[in-house]
Chain A
Amino acid sequence: MPNVPSEAPRGDRRSGPPRRVTMQRCGPILVDGPVEVELEDGTTVRSDRFRVALCTCRRSRRWPWCDTSHRERV
């Protein structure tokens, strides 16, 4: 689809470039911040960092943020 000026209202992310999300098989998901995460209980947590690392291994003690607990332990 060609990239044409959108008529979508301002603030609608569909009008801008897509947000890039970086996935790794052994590591967190990286998303450009700020990020707001809605948790299972309906509460939200927010990170204002320029990039945010989201836990995917579910071992983080600071979940949903990565705390490097995915690392191999020997």
Chain B
Amino acid sequence: MEHDRRGPALPAARGPVSAAVAGYLRGAGPPPRVEDVAGARAYGDDLQLALYLCYELHYRGFADTDRDHEWDPDLLRVRAAMEQRFLAALYADTPGHTGLDDALAELLVEPVRGTGVSHYLRDEGELWQLREYAAQRSLYHLKEADPHAWVLPRLWGRAKAAMAAVEFDEYGGGRAERVHARLFADLMHDLGLDTTYGRYLDAASAEALATVNLMSLFGLHRELRGALVGHFAAVEITSSPGSRRLAEAMRRTGAGPAAEFFYDEHVEADAVHEQVVRHEVIAGLLEEEPQLAADVTFGIDATGHLEDRFGGRLLADWRAGRSSLRVPLDAQTEHIARIS
């Protein structure tokens, strides 16, 4: 039995399913049972954390867990049950657009008076809120573009070539210091956050976990390749204007040059990426497999739905004057100061 020495520590459980998954990974309990999944809410903390733990085994894993768990049939069985719950909820909650053209057209229109998180952070965000936002987003940005790399073997021709080109740009065009995940670590450093991979898993809300689980779900299933492409399109199309607002928020609060640069870079990069994704990845995919148009639309709608939930949760917490995190940042930072 090979154990991973590196990787983040397993987080605290948030209910019976995540407790069972974490216990099993630690070698301290029996495999989680499929029956237990039925009692967990689809978007709730327990199911989303348990699912996150299962998916993370395909990225970097956790310290002191058995490496063989990545392909453990018992774990895959319970993961499939959780995925079914998650997907069923997403299908039910995204009656969505009548067609792909409608879905794309809506993304390509900029609201004059937007009410999203990036508008809030630009106009009145304080440094502590930017730090919370970055801590929660770090679960994705420290593995930025990784979930999308899984789609490459499932694409062909124009779609594959274009997707690989965009991913190459995400990975810094061959330069380690320009890899977007690295640029985000630099942003975190400016904000006084710990850049260790997985550090803020305990702090992240269920809504934040769900946005990352969605990408892993779409990325790991060939069947959902159309949805993955839709997800990628939604992120890239909405990124430029959103990144501009976040860059302004970083400038206004004096967050630091790397914090500004991360979002400035995304304004420019994603203005190109969204063109390539629409004209080449989506168009190329549908040329080969026109029957996937509905899946691409679903991917777009599911992304919007979960991003809205995440944004809504952040704004509700902040407007009520409370932290959006499950574990205060300062408590984590003090903990880090003690151990380092």
A interface list, Cβ under 8 A from B: 22, 27-28, 30, 47-53, 61-62, 65-68, 71-74
Distance of B294 from chain A, by nearest CB (Å): 25
B30 at the A/B interface (Cβ < 8 Å)? no
CB <8 Å contact, B269 and A72: no
Q: Which residue from B109, B173, B244, B272 sits with its C-beta under 8 Å from A52?
A: B272
A–B pairs, 15, beta carbons within 8 Å? A30-B272, A51-B272, A52-B272, A61-B244, A66-B268, A67-B271, A68-B110, A68-B240, A68-B267, A68-B270, A72-B109, A72-B110, A73-B111, A74-B109, A74-B111
Instruction: Report whether over half of chain A's contact residues are helix, strand or loop; otherwise say mixed.
Output: loop
A-side contacts of B168, CB under 8 Å = 50
CB <8 Å contact, B108 and A71: yes
- Compute how far the CA of A73 lies from the CA of B173 in the bound complex, rounded to whole angstroms: 32
CB <8 Å contact, B173 and A50: yes
Distance of B270 from chain A, by nearest CB (Å): 8
Distance of B262 from chain A, by nearest CB (Å): 15
Given contacts A30-B272, A49-B272, A67-B268, 10 further A-B pairs with CB under 8 A are: A30-B275, A48-B173, A50-B169, A51-B275, A52-B272, A53-B275, A62-B264, A66-B272, A68-B271, A71-B241
- Compute how far the CA of A71 lies from the CA of B275 in the bound complex, rounded to whole angstroms: 12
Looking across the interface, which residue of chain A has its beta carbon closest to that of B268?
A65
What are the 9 A-B residue pairs with the smallest beta carbon separation, nearest first? A68-B240, A66-B271, A53-B272, A71-B110, A73-B110, A50-B165, A68-B271, A73-B112, A67-B267
Looking across the interface, which residue of chain A has its beta carbon closest to that of B164?
A50
Interface size on B, residues (CB 8 A): 23
CB <8 Å contact, B112 and A74: yes
Tally of A-B residue pairs with Cβ under 8 A? 60
- Compute how far the CA of A72 lies from the CA of B111 in the bound complex, rounded to whole angstroms: 9
Q: For B110, B244, B269, B272, which residue has the most chain A Cβ atoms within 10 angstroms?
A: B272
A-side contacts of B268, CB under 8 Å = 47, 62, 65-67
- Compute how far the CA of A68 lies from the CA of B270 in the bound complex, rounded to whole angstroms: 9
Distance of A28 from chain B, by nearest CB (Å): 7
Q: Which residue from B112, B267, B274, B276 sits with its C-beta under 8 Å from A62?
A: B267
B-side contacts of A27, CB under 8 Å = 275
CB <8 Å contact, B271 and A53: yes
- Tell me which residues from 201 to 251 in chain B have a Cβ below 8 Å from any Cβ of chain A: 240-241, 244
CB <8 Å contact, B271 and A71: no
Distance of B50 from chain A, by nearest CB (Å): 38
Looking across the interface, which residue of chain B has its beta carbon closest to that of A47?
B268
Distance of A26 from chain B, by nearest CB (Å): 9
